[in-house]
Amino acid sequence: MKNSMITFRSVTPAQKGEALLNKAGYHCALLRTPRWMQEQGCGYSLQVRSQDVKKCIALFDDKKIMYRKVYLMRENGTAEEIDL
Amino acid sequence: MIYLDNGATSFHKPDCVRYAMMNALRYCANPGRGGYRQAMNASKVLYDCREKAAAMFDADPEQVVFTSNCTHGLNIAIKSLVKPGSKVVVSGFEHNAVMRPLSAIGAKITVAGRKLFDWEDTLLSFESALKCGVDAAVFTHISNVFGYVLPIVEIADLCKKYNVPFVVDAAQSAGVCPVKLRSLGAEYIAMPGHKGLLGPQGTGLLLCKSLPDPLLYGGTGSNSESYQMPDFLPDRAEAGTANVPGIAGLSAALSYLLNCDSNTIWDREKKAAALCADCLEKEGFCVFKGEHQGGTVSFVPDCDCEFFAEKLTQQGIAVRAGLHCAPLAHISAGTFDTGTVRISFGHDASRKQTERLMKIIKYVHHIYKKI
């Protein structure tokens, strides 16, 4: 299954995003952001299924939840930033 | 013991508060730092508490900043809005948690509204001060000494009319009567977790409409590459490790309150205070009572107030006497020299409790009169 990572600047907006996605019925996991993805050091991310990521971002935009970037995780462990 | 010092702290706390704190000590590590289960447990505790507070106080979860008490929150708020030489208007009933930071900063303070329970006087005074031009307003919702419930909605409207940012001290009102960040339009509302919110000591909430200046600088678990404090809430105002067991307890207390009918608690406290005030007056004491009074009554006994309070303690009544960390309130009411004995009812207020209290007060009064 392909996953995507949505990064946040700190744990609180990530948790707000998690609560919103859970309420909307989207599976997500709250994780530490990989170091190379951290823009200013430290951070949390939500891992979602890639097939859901556009809808998740739309929900965040609608509810003004501040996220940073979106990445598509590859099976070899690397990731690429995607522009939605 | 009949506990009537809820103005200082609520006692006892609901059982759920204790259980939540014990659970936190067992299952929670440091929030917002690691990614392992115990760290995430801690992060969840904090976020759940923010969500409940946001629901209760008409705010967003990120606008809920954890503090160690109301004084801490007021210091953050006041130091964000008030600079040396700033003109500030306050009410005549402010606690030292407002007056001391303002004095320390070197603010030029105007005191508005010195008449107890008199909304007309309070509002006219505030408008007069605001018209003259001030940089900020800081005012209490309910006087911790006299239970005077100020017209904060109307004062807020005046502040908005004259474009003056304001801070509300909700130390005595949070959890007891409605306090709403968005609808009030305050820049900041500070409250303790351990009074009307029934949480443990060492907790407080600061509701932030605006981004505050940091009071404390340190690690936040975010923006770690930078030596600057983050420019977003709540991180900007939450340096260092949070009081996770305390916040867990506060969160449980908020759940308890969200399931209660808060109007009933407020109603009971007010009725208890009104009944108590009437009885004290009949007994011949100098009592401060009036319309717009919450669950707190102060009176001046015909002996030293600390002596009288001690006599009550010996009979199993817990009250506080003296100046209650609010010398300005006592100056306004004319009780600075004598102090008062303060009875502050809590969520367990009842007619039966008040009747028992009055029996004991009458007994102590008559015993003292014989001496």
Q: List the single best residue of A5, A7, A15 to mutate versus B (max B Cβ within 10 A).
A: A15
Identify whether the C-beta of residue B140 lies closer than 8 Å to the C-beta of residue B94: yes
CB B136 within 8 A of CB B166: yes
Give per-residue pLDDT as tens, A16-60: 999 999 999 999 999 999 888 887 778 899 999 999 999 999 999
* Whether the model pTM is above 0.90: yes
A43-72 residues touching B, CB cutoff 8 A: 43-44, 66
Mean pLDDT score of chain B: 96
DSSP string, B211-242: PPPPSS-S--SSSTT-SSPPSSTTGGG--S--
Return all residues near B279 (Cβ < 8 A) that are at least 6 apart. B354, B358, B361
Cβ contact A30–B40 (<8 Å): yes
In sequence order, what are the beta bridge partners of B350? none
pLDDT band at B341, cuts 50/70/90? very high
Mutation for B interface: A7, A8, A9, A12, most B CBs within 10 A: A12
Partners of residue B224 in chain A, C-beta under 8 Å: 38, 40-42
What are the tens digits of pLDDT across the range B9-18?
A: 999 899 999 9
Q: Angle at CA A68, nearest 5°, toward A66 and A72?
A: 125
- Here the tokens at position B93 are 């009933």
Q: What is residue A1's predicted lDDT score, i.e. its pLDDT?
A: 74
* Structure confidence by residue, pLDDT tens digits, B229-255: 999 999 999 999 999 999 999 999 999
d(CA B226, CA B230): 8
Nearest chain B residue (CA) to A9: B222
ipTM of the complex: 0.86
Is B225 in contact with A41 (Cβ distance < 8 A)? yes
Residue of B46, B64, B223 for testing the chain A interface, max A β-carbons within 10 Å:
B223
* Cβ–Cβ below 8 Å for B226 and A30: no
Q: What is the pLDDT of residue A76?
A: 80
Residues B256-272 pLDDT 10s: 999 988 788 899 999 99
